[in-house]
């Protein structure tokens, strides 16, 4: 057999085998006893979206910190790489950007909101059983209960919103409302208001990866709904677990330093 014929046969075998391999990976996902996909585990995003959910180049941070607070380059996670801001909301985004080093809620250790909590550079853990779901985030001790039954509207506005979940086949769909309008979407100042509605979709891309999609709608901020997408990866170490990240104590100078100095004066 000629070498080129051998190569052609091998390539054909690989191409023909790819769909079957992909299908095996999708089918080989963890499930609960009732057959529902089991999302339990520690997960983490590998994007740079927490710095900016749109495509961006590297940029400097405050000069006194050298490269420590510089922004790494990254590809955007937004469909079309554009956020359809209304004019006044776009102006607010620019003001947020200019004051980002002190006004980003992350700097103040406030809860990150949804969907930002899912693409911060910290792991989060999903606890999933037939009885319900809990998302626990390492940053600021944030958490969400996903109500799979007895869906109700939010009783009070909050940083993380109110999450009602259901399954469409093997996809977990979470409808999140009831926001307080204070969270940012990233360190670049992208934002939404209290009328924000986020519809999340979690779909296994294999036993150790989840394709995440979130559609955001807010008539006070955006001219139309828009969608972000990225992949979450399972933290596979045998002892994977969340660690305690109490950041409130690190914010005292930022939040209250002027009052200390005023009292001393």
Gap between the Cα atoms of 217 and 215, Å rounded:
7
Among 112, 106, 129, residue whose Cα is nearest residue 40: 129
The answer, yes or no, to whether residue 75 has pLDDT greater than 50, is: yes
| Token pair recorded at residue 134 | 């809990």
* Domain boundaries along the sequence of the chain: 28-264
Residue whose entry in the numeric block shows the structure tokens 């296994």: 204
Taking the domain 28-264, which CATH number applies?
Answer: 2.40.128.20
Distances (CA, A) of 124 to 45, 104, 116, 240, 249: 9, 21, 12, 10, 21
Among 207, 195, 190, residue whose Cα is nearest residue 119: 190
User: Which of residues 138 and 2 earns the better pLDDT score?
Assistant: 138
Other C-beta atoms closer than 10 Å to the C-beta of 75 total 12
Buried b (16+ CB within 10 A) or exposed e, 181-199: bebbbbbbbbbbbeebbbb
The model's pLDDT over 156-189, given as tens digits with 9 standing for 90+, comes to 999 999 999 999 999 999 999 999 999 999 999 9
Residues 6+ away with beta carbon under 8 Å from 54? 76, 78, 81, 82, 83, 188, 190
| Token pair recorded at residue 237 | 């170490």
Distances (CA, A) of 164 to 37, 141, 199, 230, 232: 17, 21, 10, 21, 21
The predicted pLDDT at position 96 comes to: 98
Residue pair 134/127 in contact by the 8 Å Cβ criterion: yes
Q: Whole-model pTM above 0.75?
A: yes
Do you know the residue count of the chain?
A: 265
Confidence of residue 252 (pLDDT cuts 50, 70, 90): confident
The answer, yes or no, to whether residue 25 has pLDDT greater than 80, is: no
> For 232-255, what is the mean pLDDT?
90
Among 18, 33, 32, 38, residue whose Cα is nearest residue 234: 38
Confidence of residue 265 (pLDDT cuts 50, 70, 90): low
Confidence of residue 264 (pLDDT cuts 50, 70, 90): low
Residue whose entry in the numeric block shows the structure tokens 């899912």: 118
The predicted pLDDT at position 18 comes to: 41
User: Which of residues 189 and 20 earns the better pLDDT score?
Assistant: 189
Among 71, 52, 53, 51, residue whose Cα is nearest residue 61: 71
DSSP state of 56: B
The predicted pLDDT at position 10 comes to: 41
User: Which of residues 259 and 50 earns the better pLDDT score?
Assistant: 50
The answer, yes or no, to whether residue 113 has pLDDT greater than 60, is: yes
The answer, yes or no, to whether residue 17 has pLDDT greater than 50, is: no
The predicted pLDDT at position 21 comes to: 37
Query: Which range among 15-29, 32-46, 101-115 shows the weakest confidence by mean pLDDT?
Result: 15-29
Q: Calculate the average pLDDT of the chain.
A: 90
């Amino acid at each position: 057999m000629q070498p080129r014929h051998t190569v052609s046969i091998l390539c054909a075998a690989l191409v023909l085998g790819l769909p079957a391999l992909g299908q095996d990976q999708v089918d080989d996902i963890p499930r609960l006893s009732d057959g529902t996909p089991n999302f339990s585990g520690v997960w983490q995003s590998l994007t740079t979206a927490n710095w900016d959910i749109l495509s961006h180049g590297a940029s400097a941070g405050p000069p006194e910190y050298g490269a420590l607070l510089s922004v790494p380059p990254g590809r955007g996670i937004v469909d079309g790489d554009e956020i359809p801001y209304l004019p006044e909301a776009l102006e607010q985004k620019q003001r947020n950007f200019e004051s980002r080093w002190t006004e980003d809620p992350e700097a103040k250790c406030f809860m990150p909101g949804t969907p930002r909590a899912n693409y911060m550079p910290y792991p989060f853990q999903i606890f999933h059983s037939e009885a319900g779901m809990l998302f626990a985030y390492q940053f600021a001790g944030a958490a969400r209960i996903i109500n799979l039954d007895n869906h109700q509207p939010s009783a009070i506005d909050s940083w993380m919103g109110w999450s009602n979940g259901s399954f469409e086949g093997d996809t977990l769909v979470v409808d999140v409302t009831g926001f307080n309008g204070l969270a940012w979407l990233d360190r670049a100042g992208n934002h939404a208001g209290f009328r924000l509605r986020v519809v999340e979709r979690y779909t296994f891309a294999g036993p150790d990866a989840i394709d995440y999609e979130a559609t955001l709608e807010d008539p006070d901020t955006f001219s139309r709904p828009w969608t972000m997408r990225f992949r979450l990866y399972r933290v596979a170490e045998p002892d994977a677990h969340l660690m305690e990240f109490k950041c409130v104590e690190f914010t005292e100078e930022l939040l209250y330093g002027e009052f200390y100095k005023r009292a001393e004066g």
